[in-house]
Structure formats: structure tokens, C-alpha cells
Amino acid sequence: MSDLQYIRVEWDGELAMVVIDRAEKLNALNAEVVRELGKVFRDLKDEDDVLGVILTGAGEKAFVAGADIGDLAQLTPLTGMTVSREGQRIFTEIERFPKPVLAAVGGYALGGGCELALACHLRVASENARFGLPEVGLGIIPGYGGTMRLARVVGFGLAVEMILTGAMVDAERAERIGLVSAVYPQAALLDQAKTFMRGITKNGPVAVRMALESIYLAQNSASADAASFESALFGLLASTTDMKEGMAAFLEKRQAAFKGE
């Protein structure tokens, strides 16, 4: 992944750290950053050793302060639709990534940055984090899935409030409304994010993957289809070595040693 201009990928054991590094513009998403995000997640999908991804922004001020407003100012109706569709497509690839993706939000997550955090499966934040969808203040609406995903995470009423006011939500409120799972001091954010993820990656990898598959299918299909899909995956997991190991370990009162098989 050496051909990347704005994104760094670092490994820490079974975790991949994806860092958006355009700090001088508060990691704002120009077309190239969005393209690189798509490439990185496509490449990571094929890395068998990666059991989880932490997505974060460089610097202490921002996760991502939104789509690049300089670029947005040039949009025409046609390019606007294309840009929105391309962002939606790539953010959906992140949402459908087969292993857990955690957004570690240190600072501003605004506009497209908030939508990017929402496309991740989980979010944690630093005490100085601020979330918001300020698009209406710029005369536009969220275009990278925010009008769909925010309501799923915080509920319909709060999503309407946040999108129509454009007001920022601080870290404490974000935790209270379920927008983030935990808030940490800025200096501890990445270490705590790794610890948080290891609470997931210690589990059976196939089971974690199937759980994500089932959860996200349930979001997008009628409940009868989701229920039968859940049962099918539940049954399928009975064929895995991991299931046998997980249950044997419990019955034998020892730690499970999962192989991802």
C-alpha cells in the first residue's frame, strides 16, 4: 500500500490501524482520500491475519472535519450526484467489511467525517471529540449515507434534531445517546481503542464475521428474511472447529484457542 498519499496503514498484531493523514486540513475528505479509503479496505479484506481494523485521523484536532468544502463548492447537480454515489459506495464497503471496524474519533467528526464514523461498526472517542452533520448550514444535506445511518445508531428523533440543526454533539452527550461506546482521554485513545477491539478479536473469528453478516442483513431486509438468514448462519457455525473449541473450553473451564476455522 505504498502508493497512498493520504492514508497510512500500520499493523499491531491482529489489528490493522488505518490513519487518514491530511492533518493540515483536519483530514477533510477530498476525492483522493475517499478513493484511497476504498482501496485500503479492499486490500485489507484479503489479509487473513487481520482480525479487526481501527480507523482514525492524524493529529489531535480531528478524526475527519468533513468532505472538502473547497471541492464541494465546485459541484454541479451531475457531479454532486456522482460524488455522493461514489462516497456511499465506498462507505458501504466499509460497513460490509467482514471483520469489525472501529472508528477511534479524536476531535472533530463532522459531515462526511461523522458519516464515515457511522459507516464503521463501532465508535469510541476522545474527550475533545465533537460529532455533527452541519451540511444544512452549507446549503446541502449529508450525502454519504448520514440520513440513513444516524437514525439507526441514535434513533429517529435525535437524528432529525442533529441533521436539521447541524449542531455539534460533544463526547459526553455522544456516549449518552449511544453514538459512541466509550470516551477516553485523548492521550489514551488509541491504546484504549486497541484494548476495546481485543475484547472482540479474542472471540471466535468466524462467529464474529457471521454475527456482523447477520446484523447488517437484518438492517436491510424484511424481518422474516433476516430471521431465516440468522438461523442459517447459526446452524452453519455448528460445523466450525471454533464452535467446538469455544464450547469445549467453557465446559473444561479454560481459555478458548480459536483458529478461525
Which residues would be at the binding site for ligand COA (CB under 6 A)?
Answer: 25-26, 28, 65-70, 108, 110-112, 134-135, 138
Hunting for cell 463532522 — which residue is that? 110
Burial 40-50 (b: 16+ CB within 10 A, else e): bbeebeeeeeb
* Annotated catalytic residue, options 10, 32, 93, 135: 135
How far apart CA 166 and CA 159 sit, in angstroms, is 10
Question: Is the CB of residue 217 less than 8 Å from the CB of residue 181?
Answer: no
Closest CB 11 distance from ligand COA, rounded Å: 29
Burial of 182 (C-beta count, 10 Å sphere; 0-12/13-18/19+): middle
* R_g of the chain computed on alpha carbons: 19
Question: Is the CB of residue 193 less than 8 Å from the CB of residue 121?
Answer: no
Is 40 in a helix, a strand, or coil?
Answer: helix
| Residues paired with residue 130 on neighbouring β-strands, in sequence order | 108, 170
Nearer to ligand COA, 26 or 104 (CB): 26
* Annotated catalytic residue, options 32, 60, 93, 115: 115
Q: Active-site residue 175, yes or no?
A: no
The conformational region for residue 180 under phi > 0 = left, psi -120 to 50 = alpha, else beta, is beta
**What string of DSSP letters covers 174-185?**
HHHTTS-SEEE-
Q: Active-site residue 115, yes or no?
A: yes
Q: Which residues are catalytic?
A: 115, 135
